[in-house]
Structure 1
């Protein structure tokens, strides 16, 4: 079972042992960030620092000046946390250690864009803007993100890419000093709080036969019991959304959002493929996704049949027993060459379970996963990495269950 570890460039640059350490885990690939959102990250083994603060969403390489000249929206360059071609320097060191490098590109998640250009952001039914969540229904946002996908994905020497947040982002977001846990929001309330009411989305709802003002009123009314602490709907998942909003309006909002997300995904993948080198090995394009089409975030919801007709495969969130929910719907539509990668958190401090990785990965393999993703080799402790290395050795000794 092919395994890949996620890394940031700053995990590698300045640490002469980093690349060999990652290779010693037993992974074949590193998925290396080339465009990433703001974050504060530990670097537990780095000889020069222990905490890196990426102050805003940025590309981790010099953007092409010609591509972005004269455009109102363009990628932000990184500061001193990833100066110059940080991605390129890290990728070169990893390849020298015998590792295949693929890019890791975050798209619809950019707090600085929303802060500097508020009109680009998702707006909820109460009129609150989500500066971290660009609205992918807006043509100017889509143009930025599609071109960013092409540029950030196809870096020199990369053999493929993984596009994160290639779809709707919404309410859920770990923000600086986040204080949003006072009222528990289940799946249904998260969906309602993630519905966008910017001008473009209001026109979209109208095209589905909804009055945008009435829809916003209905969302606010539906959420009143949640704010009062009375709990959410009796049904979980999409039935809960239909219970809160009404089956007809709920379906109409999902029809609009699904059409927008599909168009964005198709355009992003096409742009990457057009930018990929025409010679040499095929450039693989994977999307981070979830088979529950109404979900937002880093793993946005998508119809498995459609997504696998567009991309070469998917990276699926399988931690915490999630494999049973996310893998079978995609495995049902997988072709012989489709990549189904099971993503597991391996950092104990972030809720991961590296001690059970061998068993968890074997179960994912039995469900159809052909590859493994490890989140995140740069953030993990020495103890976690030792457990990962042992798990990968055990997994390769473990026979696959008969299909």
Structure 2
């Protein structure tokens, strides 16, 4: 199977040996961040630094003229990725013989929510999630679609992987996070991720809901969870807590909103890209899930994009629903963490890849070449050499 390693521009820019070192892993491709959220990242082999702090979500190249005069626009990166850091890294990686695809994070942006709070998801209690832009809002959708097209189609890129192209909710890798004291379960996460901004108020009404009463119903449904009642039964538990008809209507609104955004964004990327440009989504086959791996309907998304990147570090079961709908040319990329310190298992990569292939995977994604230790990378090289 073809393998691609995730890489940040700051892993490569300023390190003359980084591109060749990545190529020696045995990967054919790199998935290089072009638009990325805030993070703190280790760079264990860089000659100039060991820790990179990306202070806010940014594009890692100079944004184009399309944003002139617009209220919602991408932020250029600061000192962690100055100028065209993406372009510098992409050229070095291509010169090392690697195929470069862009990695674009979309509906996950804390600075956007901080500076434009009205763009954020608002839960049933009125709390805003600044990291989670509401994808129902017209201005936010237009921003995300244009960002997808610009960040995906960088010079020399042969494809893109679009992350967070859907709803983002309560779950978030936040600094000093302290929200795990109550076990909300899958159902509680869904209820706490429903949005009640003005755009969603209208959308709920269009789906037959009493938009004024819905947040009251959601708060009532959540009340037993705050008292410690387990709610880990997935969608049937949502239906039990909220009522089947109400639950179905909220899900229908959210799924329609995400599906149409995905269609628009992929169409915009294709319009901007050269022929043969590959478009993949980071995706979860459970359509009501939200986050970096957007919840999708497998049949729908595989009719829109060229394929999906599926989280497989905890097991490969999520591949099967996509494999059932895949065509001969569909890309099903199994995303495996190869950083032992982040819960990955580089030593079992060969066996994990074999299991993924058996479930229908056609390619591998390895997270993450820049973050991994030397021992992790040695294990990756050994596994890939045995393909």
Please say whether Structure 1 and Structure 2 have the same fold, judged by a TM-score greater than 0.5: yes
Measured against aligned partners, the alpha-carbon deviations of 1:80-105 in whole angstroms (never above 9, x if no partner) come to 00000000000000001100000000
Is residue 2:362 matched to residue 1:365? Answer: no
Q: Distance in 2 between matches of 1:10 and 1:183?
A: 37
Which residue does the alignment assign to 1:248?
A: 245
Q: 4+ residue runs of structure 1 moved beyond 6 angstroms?
A: none
Q: Distance in 2 between matches of 1:148 and 1:250?
A: 32
Is residue 2:264 matched to residue 1:267? Answer: yes
Deviation, 1:358, is 0.7
> Are the aligned partners of 2:186 and 2:231 in contact in 1 as well (CA < 8 Å)?
no
Which residue does the alignment assign to 1:348?
A: 340
Deviation, 1:227, is 1.1
Measured against aligned partners, the alpha-carbon deviations of 1:271-306 in whole angstroms (never above 9, x if no partner) come to 00000024xxx0000000000000000001100000
Which residue does the alignment assign to 1:393?
A: 385
Aligned length: 387
Deviation, 1:185, is 2.1
Q: Distance in 1 between matches of 2:379 and 2:118?
A: 46
Match of 1:320 among 308, 311, 314: 314
| RMSD between aligned residues | 0.8
SS of 2:336's equivalent? strand
Which residue does the alignment assign to 1:90?
A: 89
Which residue does the alignment assign to 2:109?
A: 110
Which residue does the alignment assign to 1:400?
A: none
Deviation, 1:207, is 0.8
Q: Distance in 2 between matches of 1:105 and 1:145?
A: 11
Which residue does the alignment assign to 2:21?
A: 21
Match of 1:336 among 311, 325, 328: 328
Is residue 2:159 matched to residue 1:160? Answer: yes
Unpaired runs of 5+ in structure 2? none
Unpaired runs of 5+ in structure 1? 397-403
Deviation, 1:184, is 1.7
> Are the aligned partners of 2:58 and 2:77 in contact in 1 as well (CA < 8 Å)?
yes
Q: Distance in 1 between matches of 2:27 and 2:162?
A: 20
Q: Which moved more, 1:198-207 or 1:175-184?
A: 175-184
SS of 2:173's equivalent? coil
Q: Distance in 1 between matches of 2:79 and 2:157?
A: 24
Q: TM-score normalised to the size of structure 1?
A: 0.95
Q: TM-score normalised to the size of structure 2?
A: 0.99
Which residue does the alignment assign to 2:138?
A: 139
Q: Distance in 2 between matches of 1:20 and 1:183?
A: 47
SS of 1:391's equivalent? helix
Which residue does the alignment assign to 2:9?
A: 9
Which residue does the alignment assign to 2:293?
A: 299
